[in-house]
Each structure stands twice: as C-alpha cells, then as structure tokens.
A and B are shown apart, each in its own frame.
Chain A
Amino acid sequence: MSELLTETFVTALLFGSVTAGVPLLLAGIGEQISEKSGVLNIGLEGMMLVGAYTGFCAAYYFDSFWLGFLFGGLGGVSVAMLMVLFCVILGLNQIVIGIALTLGADGLTALLHHFQFSRTYPRLSAVEPLVIPVVGDIPYLGEVFFHRHPVVYLAVGLVFFLVWLFKRTYVGLNLQAAGDVPAALDVTGVSVRSTRTWAVLATGFLAGVGGAFLANIGAGIFVPHMIHGAGFIGIVLAMLARGHPTWVLYGAALFGVSLSLTTALQVAGFNIPTDVVQMLPFTMVIVMLILLGRNSYLPAALALPYIRGER
C-alpha cells in the first residue's frame, strides 16, 4: 500500500481527477439549468457524445482546441434542439425522448466516425496549457490545477457565474418559476416555452463542450461510445445538488477522483481485476444516492410539459 502513495502516483491521480471531473462538471451544471426550468434532460449523454464527435472533428481538421470546443458545444446544441422540439414544443414524454436521443446519438456518432475515419483513430497533439503565474509555481498542486487549458478555468468560473445568475438575475428567477409553478411565470407574461427552450439549449451547449473536453483533452482521440456513462453521472450530480451550482462542483470533484482512481490503479498495476476497478465510479453513484438522494430536491414541475390553460 505504501508504494501506492508515492508522489508521482498522487500527482497523477489528482491531475487525472481534474481531467475527468471537468466534463462531469460541465454536464452537471448544464443539466442543472435544464432541471431548474422543469425539463429533465435524460438526453445529456447523447449531447455529450455528439459534442465529443463534432468537437474532435473540428479540433482535428482546424487544428484548434478552441474551435473544437465551439463545435462540440454546437453539436450538443443540435441534439438539444431535438429535445426542445419534442419535449418543450410538442410536450412529449421527456424520459422517453431523452433515452431515444442518447441511444440515437450513440449509434449516429459511431456510424459517422466509421465513415470518416474507418478503423483508424487519429490522435490530437498534446494540449498547450495556460500556466497561471505565481500559483502555478506551487509544487505538485500548481501543476495539477494551474497548468491547464483555459477551458478548465472557465468551467470553474462558470459555477460561480451561475450562482450569481440563479440568485441575482431575472433569468434565475424565471428559470426557477418555470420549474416550480410554470403557470405563475406564464401569467406574468414570460413565455414558459421560450424560458425552457433557452435552458435546454444552454444544457446542450455545456454538455457538448464537456463531451469535446473528454475527447480532445481527456483522451486526445475519439472512440465510439466513449462517454461511457459520464452524462448519466452528470444527471445524478444535478439531482443531488438541489439547485446549487457549487454542489455540482464538489460532486464533480468527488467523481473525478473516483474515475481517475480507476485509471491510476490500473496504471499502478494494483492487483485488483479491472472490471472491479471500473465499477468504482458507478458504485460511488449508488452510495451517493443512498446517502443523499433521500433529500434530493427536485422542482415541482420537473418533467411535466406545460400547456397553457390546463389545470
């Protein structure tokens, strides 16, 4: 056990935790926005997958991580638009549509990848980190937290932006009302439909960026089915966070560590079957749900389509 806790191991573990945690964070706060507005977005995994694919392609062909993130976000938005059409405008069952979108995106990205790259898996060049002065020089931790692509800093900054947005702006108020008592928002003259539409599109963008991060920075390649449940962990994070963006941050950190531990334990050649190690993050989900899920607060009108004038 003592050889496990070497400096290299711990640094690699923490470094990997951040890399694994950021996609979860982006997806989790994205889901939180959508859930606040009353749309349960089970299609999150699908949005991440499409974002990962489009983000990888853009980064690969344009040779730019930034364009990769942009197109990843737009890829997520394209799936979100379907979600908007079916669930917000037509008022269909959000769970059924969400599952369909996730499964559809899984097949679609695998197919597109096959057309595009056949059986090759081209690799992106390593990312150029933005080293933050002063704090970047802290031994070990500096490298873990402050030698990163700017998107990492933006993702964390977004958490605090959302804290402000939810508490201090009309957007936050309107989102919360749309999820709790949509009719209360409607009678004040704000369209529930457009509020929810923007919320779902924002979710799609964030999930797409998260997917692109997973492919471009986490892995450096795109492999079909690579999101591998991260979207569902994002949904769990949003549900446990009860509307607090900072809780999503803590949750993402926790799950990041457990995902990273999976890799680190394998690399360290620790004598546990890989299947058991790979179960770790999902065991974590179940443990977290047992501990905290009992009190998870969900908006009253979550997953209920809103039709004006219906009681």
Chain B
Amino acid sequence: MALSASDSKIHHTSAIELRGISKFFPGVVANQDITLDIYAGEIHALLGENGAGKSTLISILAGLHRPDAGTIIIGGVERRLGSPRDSLLAGIGTVFQHVLLAPTLSVIENLMLGGSWKNKLDKESARSRFAELCGLLAVTIDPEALVGSLSLGQRQQVEIMRALWRGGERVLILDEPTSMLTPQGVIELGHVMKRLRENGVAIVFVTHKLREAYELCDRISVLRNGAFAGQINPDHGSGMGEEETIEQIIRMMFDKEGQSDSTVDNGGTNVAVRNVFADSQTRSISVAAKEVSTIALPGECGLSAVSFEVARGEIFGIAGIDGNGQKHLAEVLAGQRDLATGQIELDGEDISVLKVSERRDRGFRYLTDDRVGEGIVSDHSVATNLVAKSIGENPYWKYGFTKWRAIFSFARRQIKKYDIRTPSERTSIGRLSGGNIQKALFAREMDDNAEIVLLNKPTYGLDLQNIASARDRIREGASRGITTLLISTELEELIDLADRIGVMYQGQMVGIVEANPGSENRIGSLMTGASLN
C-alpha cells in the first residue's frame, strides 16, 4: 500500500538537522527540546493534534519565529534563520496553511514578488521559469489569471511554485496542504511531491490525516504537547500493516490505548449506514429548494436551478469540489444572499424573502466555513461570542442593560457541556484553537430551538479528536430530530454521516445519491462532471 515501500532508497544525507529546538510563548510552551533530522529526498510527515507545536516548528523553519533554544544545522552548517529571507537563502520554501497570495495580482506577478528593486522586472525569464515549474509539477495554470479568480487547489499549486521559485531546492514545507483539496487534488499533490522527491528535495508534510501520511510519506514524526513524541517508518519492512501502524501513531499522538477507533482516522472502515432515507418518504419535508438560481460575480460560482428536498431529521450531505457553488448555496439558504429565481421552503412555507434573523427565529441555523472571519468576533470573549446571536434578548439583556452575570454563567455551562478548552469564559475567543472555536460555534448554533442546521465544512482544519467530537455532535443533533445539511469536500465524511448526498458541479446539483460505502465512485464521477458527458 505504501508507495514509498519499494521505490525509496533510504537517503541518509541530512537536509536539515534540528537540535533541541525550544520556543516559548507567554504562558505556552510551543516547542520543547525538539530534535529531528530531515533527509534529502524523503517525504517526511509531521503529525500532531492542533496545538501540538507543528505550526510553531514550521514557522521557525520558515524564519517567522526565532527559537528560544536549540540549533538548526543545514547541510552540515549551523544556520540562524532570523527572517523569511534567511530561510529562502538556506533553500527552504514554505507553503503555508492559509493562502498567502495577493488576490489583486496575477499568478506570474505573485510569483515574481519579492525581487530586489534594483533588478528589472523580467517577465520573459519569469515566464520560462513558470513553464519549467509547470512541467515539473505537471500542472496547467494561466500565468496571467488574477489569483483572486483561481480555485483553492490552483492557488495552492501557485503557492508550491512560489516556494520553489527561489529557495525550496533543499526543503519544501507543506503545512496542511490537503485540508482544502478534493480527493483528486490530493492525488495530484501526491504526484507533485513524488516528482520533487526524485529531484532530491526533502518534503516536510504537515497533516492531520493519518492515512494520507501513511500513504504519501517515507517517515512520520509525531509531536505531542510541543515535544517530539516518536517516529515511524512505514516502509520499515517489519511487516507491520497499515492498521497497526496507524494505531501506533494514534497512541503516540494521544498517548492512550486504541480509544480512537477507526471512525476517527477517516478510514471509512467503520461506516454505519443509518438508512433514514428509507422511511423519509413517509416523513415530512423539512427544507426544500426549488429551482434556486443566483447571480454570480466574476470568479464566483453561482447556482443554476438547484432543487432538493430534505426530510425532518435527515442528514443531507452536499458534496462537490470546492468552488462549485457550495458557498452560494450556503448563503442563499442562510438568507445572506438574494436568490435570482426559485424558492426555498421551510416546512412547506416559502422563506425565500425572509431575513437572516427571521430564518433564525424559525429554527434555522448556519455554521459558516469561515470560522474566524465570519463565525466569531475574535477580540471578544468566549462568553460574548456564545450569545452573539441573541443580542438584546432575555435573559442576557434587560431593559437595554447587559446582564453579564447571566451571560458568564450561561457561558460556563456551555463551556463545560461542549468541552470548550479555554482558560476562562472571558478569554478572547480568537486565542483559542480552531477546534475549540468550532466547539463554541456548535454550542451557539445547536441550541434547543434549532430545527435545521446548515454546516459548511464543519471539520475543516480540525484535528482528529475534534473531528470526532464534531461528528458526534452532528449525529447527536440528528438523533434529536434536527435536520442537517452538511456541506463538505471530504467524501468519506459525507458517506460516514449523511443519509443522502447531493452532488454539486458547476453550480448545479447533478445528482442525489444514497450514502453507502459503495457509492464513492458514483459520487466521485458526479463531482468531476465525468458522468455528465
């Protein structure tokens, strides 16, 4: 199974040696005494929960943070990486988790960024370098397209190109590169990484997804609580199978025995199909979209005549490659975007013209995929954010006065109930990890009056435990009779959770498929538009 098992000669030239790296932030030990070798020509996975210290270690290698202790040895020489420039000069290229491209510049301009003012802007040589990298990575992108108009997968390819543009010939760091990619995108990324490995580049691959790490990587290092927790060599030839290896990694990551079963590791081995749909015909229709269309601005994907019906208590998955209209669908349903034609019905009543708050009053809840930008006010406390959608309402506000005591005690109860890890209810929510922010959003949206929830990529960027708890939360909601619309790009997640799956392709709902383990191929071909022509 492991691609690396046969073809990788084990290289033992160190590209980078980390010796006793420590980094302290106020109140937090982000990295503690990490010693790690990364060899030339290997794909090295860096695994760990959110907050395990992966990002900090990456930032140190990228020159964004300076370590408080320890040394970095590159090509046998001790180097100080004081700035991103030092890192690039040392041959380290980084692709960050959050896309760092200027949307108003073209692809080629983004790649040329960072040249010295003394040099002439040389588009011709940039273009030939671009063509060369396109060849190396086997991708096709229009160099003159504005980055703002590209899909996320394409933007990531541009980011990889930029990491390789100058620097990156020694080490390429990919920080959670697959979290925004489609299954097809992940496969393409795998090819790109293997091509680079053949060229002797060391690739550091940060991920949450164990199976990916197992399949793509030559070695896997695990971080836990900022410290090095262990290393595994999947192609060790010890006869250790995939399941065994993954179990061992989970033990390293969480330090407990087999608790995280295979539903957690995205394995799809433990898929329980709740065939709610079978009896949904007899149940009442909760949400229905009828021929819904929207107007798209350039660079967006609008909807054209999307129709579906969802039964009460059903989990209806919405699959599709990112950028095929999911954003518009979510916003139209939530009431944040006007629809051009068609209508949306809630319990048989047309709600197309209702405002966000009116839909909320009818029990409609929306969990955005833009957790930090749209979901929370990051400078405000956890408590304020937990009541942010009931501002002005009893019992938290009375006669225009804020009842802090009521808000704080409500927040404390929610924090306990939803296991939100925060120093206190008064902490700014922006300081929490992504998983805890998501828990707070679940706490806010899945309240007792919720009847329909629309979840847009609820597990994106979360670690295994938080993914598991989010999925439990969704199942638990459905069992309470909440109708769930689940937008996700993770096919395995949809098949695991949903009863039926509608597939979006270029703004249309091209098919609705019953979710069971065998439907992957059918959905996959719908997602890529293959079954249309």
Interface residues of chain A, those whose CB is within 8 Å of chain B, are 168-174, 176-177, 180-181, 183-191, 308-309, 311
Cα-based distance from A309 to B162 in the complex (angstroms): 19
Cβ-defined partner of A188 (8 Å) among B88, B89, B103: B88
B346 on interface, CB distance cutoff 8 Å: no
Quick check: B102 and A184 within 8 Å, CB to CB? Answer: yes
Chain B residue numbers with a CB within 8 Å of A176 are 102, 104-105
Chain A hits for B94, CB < 8 A: 187
Considering residues A172, A180, A186, A188, which has the most beta carbons from chain B within 10 angstroms of its beta carbon? A188
Please determine whether A309 and B64 come into contact, CB atoms closer than 8 angstroms: yes
The 3 A-B pairs with the shortest beta carbon distances in the complex, nearest first, are A188-B114, A189-B85, A170-B115
Tell me which residues across on chain A come within 8 A of B100, comparing CB atoms.
181, 183-184, 187
Q: Which residues of B sit under 8 angstroms from A169, Cβ to Cβ?
A: 117, 120-121
Q: Which residue of B lies closest to A177 (CB)?
A: B102
- The main secondary structure of chain B at its interface with chain A is loop
Q: Give CA–CA (A173, B107) in the complex, Å.
A: 12
A193 to chain B, nearest CB (A): 11
Q: Which residue of B lies closest to A187 (CB)?
A: B84
Q: B91-132 toward A: CB 8 Å interface, digit per residue (1/0)?
A: 000101010111111000110111111011100000000000
Name the A residues within 8 Å of B162 (CB-CB).
188
Complex alpha-carbon distance, A311 and B55, angstroms? 12
Contacting pair B114 A190 (CB below 8 A): yes
Interface size on B, residues (CB 8 A): 33
Q: Are A168 and B113 in contact (CB under 8 A)?
A: no
Cα A180 to Cα B103 in complex, Å, equals: 8
CB–CB A189/B101 < 8 A = no
A190 to B105: give the CA distance in the assembly, Å. 17
Chain B hits for A180, CB < 8 A = 102-105
Q: How far is the CB of A307 from chain B (nearest CB, A)?
A: 11
Complex contacts, B109 vs chain A, CB 8 Å = 173
Which residue, of A180, A183, A184, A191, has the highest number of chain B Cβ atoms within 10 A? Answer: A184
Give every chain A residue within 8 A of B120 (Cβ-Cβ): 169
Check A170–B121 contact: CB distance below 8 A.
Answer: yes
Least Cβ distance of B207 to chain A in Å? 19
Tell whether, in the assembled complex, residue A187 and residue B102 are in contact, meaning their CB atoms are under 8 Å apart: no
Given known pairs A176-B102, A311-B98, the reply for A184 and B113 (CB within 8 Å) is: yes
Contacts of A168 in B (CB 8 A): 121
The answer to whether B119 and A170 have CB atoms under 8 Å apart is: yes
Q: Which of B84, B85, B94 has the most CB of A within 10 A?
A: B84
Contact with A along B243-266 (1 / 0, CB 8 A): 000000000000000000000000
Shortest Cβ distance from A167 into B: residue: B121
Q: Is A170 in contact with B59, judged by CB distance below 8 angstroms?
A: no
Q: Is the CB of B105 within 8 A of A189?
A: no
Q: In the complex, which residues of chain B have a beta carbon less than 8 angstroms from the beta carbon of A173?
A: 105, 109, 112-113, 115, 121
Tell me which of B59, B101, B121 contacts A309 (CB under 8 A).
B59
